[in-house]
Structure 1
Amino acid sequence: MKHPDGYPAGNPVSPEPLHALVEPGQAVNAAQKRPAGQNPATPAGTAPATSAFDDSTPLARELADINRRRRALAAQQLPLPPAPRVFTVANQKGGVGKTTTTVNLAAALARGGARVLVIDLDPQGNASTALGVDHRSETPSVYDVVINDAPVASVLQKSPEFDALYCVPATIHLAGAEIELVSLVAREQRLRTSLDRFLAETSEPFHYVFIDCPPSLGLLTINAFVAAREVLIPIQCEYYALEGLSQLLNNIKLIERHLNPVLSVSTILLTMYDGRTNLANQVAEDVRNHFPKEVLKTVIPRSVRISEAPSYGQSVISYDPSSPGSLSYLEAAAEISRRGAPA
């Protein structure tokens, strides 16, 4: 797969050396005008530079920071949980990076050695697309699990990205599942029943399960909350970021009280962060003040690479491993694994 500009996906393009940007005629003329014996990089009357790389520029500092973060990530070993941690990734507000966060955290943890399962419970199927799995209409999917009681193992697919990354895909049939669930017995607990049975019976245990649900509070989302133990909420660092959050938290408390007493909001991740703006910094500060224990230290920056990756059927972790967005998701995954499950 190639980028629109012709370069292979996943390989950042190195800029051409400066001398390649000079016209041949210009290079010859410059050489003719230079006094004999003078270094072409050293103007007359000045001492030769000790280094061609100026580490005082913003770009140099950014590159140095990226290298430091890469070395730190390479040196650490992610701890694996003793029992599967099941997350529902939710936010009733759309466009906050919910599916992107699901896919990239799952890929980051799989890259770190964990066995990870993503359950795509959103009828749009964007998580299935990003993980590169088949989700055409005739494909066995999560619809068969929640409506027809199919075993999770019968619809499971391995993502081509990592050997330890799996997906239960969503198909177009899931769009009508809300109506079909209304008349079914134990309609709020169908996903939990199937998932618990699968996790108990599988020969190779999974360490993490991420459920990507639609940005609305219907029966599919309720099934996701009932099946999970933890809720991860992505919040964009933009205006209206906290809009609807109180309603989401109230709904989670209702589900905790009546359907799933072990459910808790364990993690909040700030996304689409642009440190150059006062607004992003103010939103981040407000969220941290309201949820000091839940908010991760890591923030996910705005990134073209993160936006491009799904169109190539990849997470940003494999699409561009050295990009700031990839490093941020790797750091967030490491932070989640070190925190451990809530008591």
Structure 2
Amino acid sequence: MRTIAVLNHKGGVGKTTFCGSTAQALALIGFRVLVIDNDSQHNLSSMLGVGVKHPNIRDVYIADNSTAPSQLLKSVRKTDIPGLHIITSCRDLSDSDVPHNTHLKNALQTCSLGRFYDYLLIDNAPGIDHLQASAIIASDEIFVPTELKQFAVDGIAEMELTLRERYPDGARITKIVPNFYKNVKRQNSFIAALSKLFPGRVTETSIPFDSVFDELVTDNKILFLHRLYSKGAACYIKLVHELFNLDEDTVWEQVKGKRDNKIKDDARKRLTARKIDGGMS
């Protein structure tokens, strides 16, 4: 199981949208995916249509070492996409809930989740404190979505230094994903600066600025099921191909096939429900 922390100590850079969209794509391709909402704002839990459930990730943190693994397994919930599961968060989650920074890693290892999942993605709140440290230490690598502004570029460089100093045995930044991209000279210069600072780690694919992402949140829709032919979905297909070394054409065909099948299944369910309602009236 490949474990990835989605992290940036700056807020508003699109971490949750990136984590949720990437997880959805991987599951639609056919991988078994678990995501952990490690943020008290619990936006990932809402994005994936599950909401706050109990037990959740906070219950894992506040459990003692002997019961944390069982709490973790009890916290796993299904989403509307087959193969994609989530451990939700809640508004009460805080850094003070973390007894020690290896608590989450120990619980994950005890559960041997690699038997059940191919990928684990951990979404994090802005900052680097105990909650983020738990994800860093539990992960194999870190993906950093970023906006293309000077403060964001400077912040990633500082974040890498902080990671090395505070968590010498923790995961390292392997990929930096430009987000909210517009093809203008200034943003292209920031991509060039990032590529110079982090050679080989900045993705060639950038996530475009696209209103479709806000529409999906408002309408509670799924990018690859309801807006597959949008610019945003096309870029995520390319990004998943790049991040996970997958064939782009195969990714597209698998996602499209799963989308078409789900649309047919939903239509059949609606038809069945109407027949049942008609028979009862």
Q: Distance in 2 between matches of 1:273 and 1:125?
A: 25
Alignment match, 2:210: 303
Q: Distance in 2 between matches of 1:243 and 1:111?
A: 35
Q: Distance in 1 between matches of 2:113 and 2:175?
A: 28
Q: Distance in 2 between matches of 1:208 and 1:119?
A: 11
Q: Residues 137-152 of structure 1 correspond to what in structure 2 (within 5 A)?
A: 139-148=54-63, 149=68, 150-152=70-72
Query: CA distance change for structure 1 residues 306 and 189 in 2, over 3 Å: closer, same or farther?
Result: same
Alignment match, 2:275: none
RMSD of aligned residue pairs (Cα, Å):
1.7
Shift in Å, 1:201: 5.5
Shift in Å, 1:173: 2.1
* TM-superposition CA deviations, 1:73-94 (whole Å, max 9, x none): xxxxxxxxxxx11000111111
Alignment match, 1:237: 148
Contact 1:106–1:118, Cα closer than 8 Å, also in 2: yes
Instruction: Confirm or deny that 1:123 pairs with 2:40.
Output: yes
SS in 2 for 1:243: helix
SS in 2 for 1:267: strand
SS in 1 for 2:241: helix
SS in 2 for 1:296: coil
With normalisation by structure 2, the TM-score equals 0.81
Residue of 257, 264, 285 corresponding to 2:172: 264
Give the % identical residues.
26
Alignment match, 1:61: none
Shift in Å, 1:240: 2.4
Contact 1:109–1:330, Cα closer than 8 Å, also in 2: no
* TM-superposition CA deviations, 1:22-67 (whole Å, max 9, x none): xxxxxxxxxxxxxxxxxxxxxxxxxxxxxxxxxxxxxxxxxxxxxx
Residue of 51, 67, 76 corresponding to 1:134: 51
Q: Distance in 1 between matches of 2:126 and 2:149?
A: 18
Amino acid at match of 2:229: S
Alignment match, 1:325: 232
Q: Which runs of 4+ in 1 moved over 4 A?
A: none
Alignment match, 2:122: 211
Q: Distance in 2 between matches of 1:280 and 1:241?
A: 12
Unaligned runs of at least 5 residues, structure 1? 1-83
* TM-superposition CA deviations, 1:123-173 (whole Å, max 9, x none): 00011111111315xx2110011111243220111111x101111000122
* TM-superposition CA deviations, 1:204-227 (whole Å, max 9, x none): x21111101110111101101011
Unaligned runs of at least 5 residues, structure 2? 247-281
Higher helix content, 1 or 2: 2
Alignment match, 2:254: none
Q: Distance in 2 between matches of 1:282 and 1:223?
A: 34
SS in 1 for 2:92: helix
Residue of 135, 138, 156 corresponding to 1:224: 135
Alignment match, 1:153: 73
Query: CA distance change for structure 1 residues 180 and 152 in 2, over 3 Å: closer, same or farther?
Result: closer
Q: Residues 14-29 of structure 1 correspond to what in structure 2 (within 5 A)?
A: none
Shift in Å, 1:253: 1.1
Q: Distance in 2 between matches of 1:223 and 1:214?
A: 12
Q: Distance in 2 between matches of 1:245 and 1:213?
A: 15
Alignment match, 1:292: 199
Alignment match, 1:164: 83
Amino acid at match of 1:266: T
Alignment match, 1:336: 243
Query: CA distance change for structure 1 residues 201 and 324 in 2, over 3 Å: closer, same or farther?
Result: closer
SS in 2 for 1:87: strand
